[in-house]
Homo-oligomer: A and B are copies of this chain.
């Protein structure tokens, strides 16, 4: 998917919402468990209910991998369902991969070709040759971890460098030269809205994927205020706050309400 297509979808739906499909067999409504593939059925219901308010879906790959073969099948079916029924939607494999050369290319093929995802999250620690192989795929995106919202994010990401600035700034600065605004995004934790100015000084136009709104406690208002310079180049994620809003048979209806409520807050900034 191109940047223009993604921006067009944001304009049309008046939303920058990304729904995280962190689907956990132990947390999905019990009435689904008697079906053949409860994880897929859960995702399908969530997608059908939330798609009018949602521009991107982000399956967290760990949740599927933890279930072995059956998890991989549920993931594959979920992505096929999205691509067939809602081809305008942007898909993110939240895999946080980071490996070099031909290994990175293998991962890129697995997620871009085998699963047909539009994008994948990538870790920066191994440097240019762990990121560039992902950037080589046409109309596919790499979403590089820059500043994450977890407590451990400050263990290394905010270390002050001898030549000035913090590590995450150097990650932004250096990696922005490896890709373009058309194939590279960054993960920026929403609980650090105070850092948005620094980030937008370095990458004013790149899309930012912002997790941590909702369950992790980030302020949506602050993200929207500081995160948009020109285009509304933000994908704002909520996972548990939407998909586990309710555990009854009405879970999908409640999920849609939560998604709509977030989208309405976003619409004011569009």
- Chain A interface (Cβ < 8 Å from any Cβ of B): 22, 60, 62-63, 65-69, 72-73, 76, 96-101, 103-104, 106-107, 109-110, 114-115, 123-131, 145, 148, 150-157, 159-163, 167, 170-171, 174
Contacts and interface: CB of A to CB of B under 8 A. Distances in A.
A123 B98 CA distance: 8
Number of copies: 2
B126 A153 contact: yes
Contacts of A110: 62, 65-68
Contacts of A100: 148, 150, 152
Contacts of A106: 62-63, 65-66
B148 A126 contact: yes
A30 B167 CA distance: 47
A103 B156 contact: no
Contact of A125 (B63, B101, B156, B160): B156
17 contacts: A62-B99, A66-B110, A68-B110, A68-B114, A69-B69, A96-B97, A96-B98, A96-B99, A98-B123, A98-B125, A124-B156, A125-B145, A125-B148, A126-B145, A129-B151, A156-B170, A160-B162
